[in-house]
Structure 1
Amino acid sequence: MKFKVSSKDVDKFETDAVVLLFFSDEKPLKGASGLVDWRMNGSISKLLESEMVSGDKGETTLVVPQGRIKGGKIMMVGLGDSSRFKARDLENIAPVIVEKLVHIDAKKVIIAIPLKKLSSIKSGKTVSSLMKGMKKSDKEGAKLQATLIVEDEDIETVKEILKESAL
């Protein structure tokens, strides 16, 4: 499993899947999730409004982008309420993400992480937990190439985490 980091918009990448991590109390959607929702004419917001998607911790929903973004599939992954979020939650959710990506035969993926709502300490732990959980659950060597999408202000922190994890 390989990781890279970028602050480019999710719709700028050719990819097999876009994974959007989002909090249940984040309405309207912001960041990468908001951009994808906008590109898809609000169809994700409609799923949230209809309560077909809640954003509860660990909830996953696969959405077809209908040609509106370059990603082959969109996977929405709920992180629960942002005030109750713990970085280790993501380590526990990561195996579900990997399992679903393998199931849809995704090799090259974008993972948008909503770090803006978290403190800088929690942001670093969140990225580390995601990577740790994904690496642990990749027992079959899925050969995933994941680009982590973060805000410009978080890019150096995440690059440092990637560098440390490669040691």
Structure 2
Amino acid sequence: MTRLQVLDRPADTLPGEVAAALFYSDIRPLFGPSALLDWRLNGLLTDQLRKGCAQGRQGEYVLISGNGKMAASWILFAGGGQRRELTPLTLAGLIGSVLEVVHRAGFGRLALALDALEDMVIQDVERIVWDFLDKDRFNNMQVVLAWRGPRG
């Protein structure tokens, strides 16, 4: 069993039980992996944003059943707070929160699609994910990671 795999593929084609992407409180329209997944879901997250049911705050999660247009059966949109305030440290916290939510929901295979962050390369993100996967409670979790940024 490969516990972490990095793929250079769009979020909607990543294998996993659940595909996760961040969305931000200060970015409209959506962009990156969250925009692609929302588009494949016929704008369900955009509708939630328009109605004020979702905002993109840290700690906010929107779990939507897939519609057969994507590889994953479930889509998890995770609020990332304000994008302009995102740092490697806050990204690490967000990744940990997503892993925790996915684990608590009973999923074992996560497809995590992330956008580039200034001053970070894929190896930095891999290290963050491994730091969490090495914890006992995530022993049986598998993560497929897609990173739209520098490869190092």
TM-score for the superposition, normalised by structure 1? 0.77
Question: What corresponds to 2:125 in structure 1?
Answer: 127
Unmatched segments (≥5 aa) in structure 2 = none
Instruction: Spell out the pairing of 1:28-107 with structure 2 (5 A cutoff).
Output: 28-107=29-108
Matched, 1:2 2:3: yes
Question: What corresponds to 1:144 in structure 2?
Answer: 141
Indicate conservation of the 8 Å contact 2:26/2:81, yes or no.
yes
Partner Cα distance (1:134, 1:140) in 2 = 9
Moved over 2 A (4+): 90-96, 122-126, 132-136, 138-142
Count of residues in correspondence between the two structures: 151
Look up the equivalent residue of 2:140 and give its one-letter code.
K
Indicate conservation of the 8 Å contact 2:133/2:139, yes or no.
no
Look up the equivalent residue of 1:92 and give its one-letter code.
G
RMSD between aligned residues: 2.4
Indicate conservation of the 8 Å contact 1:20/1:113, yes or no.
yes
Look up the equivalent residue of 1:149 and give its one-letter code.
A
Question: What corresponds to 1:160 in structure 2?
Answer: none
Residues 1:91 and 1:143: Cα distance change in structure 2 (over 3 Å):
same
Residue-by-residue CA offset, 1:80-131 (whole Å, 9 max, x unaligned): 111111211132233332222122322221101121xx32x14568625742
- CA offset at residue 3 of structure 1? 1.7
Partner-residue secondary structure (3-state), 1:68: coil
Whichever structure has more helix as a proportion of its residues is: 1
After superposing the two structures, state which structure 1 stretch, 32-41 or 122-131, moved more. Answer: 122-131
Indicate conservation of the 8 Å contact 1:59/1:77, yes or no.
yes
Partner Cα distance (1:22, 1:147) in 2 = 19
- What percentage of residue pairs aligned between the two structures are identical? 21
Partner Cα distance (2:38, 2:138) in 1 = 32
